[in-house]
Chain A
């Protein structure tokens, strides 16, 4: 199939020093790009094999799990409407926890983000210190925050909101501040030139300009928050997760199936709506 090219022969002796051969064949790829790719995969493969050898999985456990699977699947398939009202109530509660968390966090974050943004902060050092605190807060997984709040306040949706406020505010403050730093420079310069005070710059200049991009960030976070509220119910902080965890522990798989469907539909709808909101905001 391969057809020979009829161009005048180009003898390797004419080759430039840049032509590299390997086993008598001319290398054709870009060296650095190829090397990086190979290094990445080689490192990943070595790491994977080392971890795999350290992993102790019992085949017995796997086999018995797979053996029990058809039974569980058949139970899951008999979706029951019996728990529908309770699940709906749980889902609404989860959504409300997410909503309240975002509202409270937005209020906190708008104030603090102006303290953190390098180009408008009145106290540079306080802002930097706060940045470090926020980084630590963000690093602790959300579910663990909720667990701590539950340990302090007891089970229920208030513990959920309390626990979620920390990572949520931390995320929002960082994103808002990034937005201020990215697009606030012109406004700040212009308003400083006419002698506006710090408060005037923030409330008359920056906030109205940045409102739309803040809304986009908020809608994105709300989307994440709903998934988080479902999970945090599973550690006892109210909402549909509590029910899901119960159904799982009591082997009520038919009710669980209904719950999973409700969660899927809700999160799907929230994602759809918040995407719609963001694309409309982007057009404005």
Chain B
């Protein structure tokens, strides 16, 4: 088994001294589907964004495929990022562009800067993107504008965009927190199946424990910026869950559609 990601001693402090992450260690092996659980404000989102350097960590190292990442070289940062897909809570689509264009954005990281600016996607990429959209059940939405879609559909476009990167790792930040239960199930299935089929490792932030237990091969619990649990879903005891969500118990089952 190859190690995809090795996070060591990750610390993020904000101006004013708030510690969002207090030294997190985490290893992701190939093919793993890891759920990161914890109440809101625990630092799950910061952890994910420190991995692909959307947020610059204060201390610690992140090694991707054995290479330690840094933000010094824009070229290598771009190369790393292009191999890490990301799925967002609010889908983060370009609303006024077509669904197909949004999926093709996943290829930008591999194109020369100018070819990317002028949308010179290869025909193979376009066909692949259309095929991908067929696969996630959006065959009738390919040429619609992103803002014409429902929440669940938008998230499936977001997933397709991440898959389109042919990544080694997908980071999913609360992918179902803004969705109703039915769409949530579809979206989680889509993420899970695609990652399994293509052998992509996945790190997904969730606050619903049931969902985490259903899909994850491993669960990581985060509380107050520190890792308090790391193990197989079966090892996650009720006691442990209550410890993680202490004080915010109402969040662990919440399907928070309107969040």
Contact = CB atoms under 8 A, between A and B. Distances in A.
Interface of A: 1-12, 15-16, 18-20, 25-26, 28-33
User: What's the dominant secondary structure at chain A's contact region?
Assistant: loop
Contact of B126 (A6, A8, A26, A30): A26
A1 B125 contact: no
Interface in B99-130: 100-101, 104, 107, 110-112, 115, 119, 121-128, 130
A5 B125 contact: yes
24 contacts: A1-B110, A2-B112, A2-B115, A3-B110, A3-B166, A4-B124, A5-B125, A5-B128, A5-B166, A6-B166, A16-B139, A19-B143, A20-B143, A26-B130, A28-B100, A28-B119, A28-B126, A29-B101, A30-B97, A30-B98, A30-B101, A30-B143, A30-B145, A32-B145
B142 interface: yes
Residue from A15, A20, A29, A31 with most neighbouring chain B CB atoms (10 Å)? A29
A26 B142 CA distance: 12
Contacts of A33: 96-98, 145
Given A2-B112, A3-B110, A18-B143, A29 B127 contact: no
A4 B122 contact: yes
A10 B111 CA distance: 21
Q: For this complex, into which size category does the number of interface residues on chain B fall? A: 20 to 34
Contact of B131 (A8, A18, A31): A8
B142 A19 contact: yes
A149 B131 CA distance: 71
A16 B143 CA distance: 11
Residue from A10, A20, A28 with most neighbouring chain B CB atoms (10 Å)? A28
B144 interface: yes
B212 interface: no
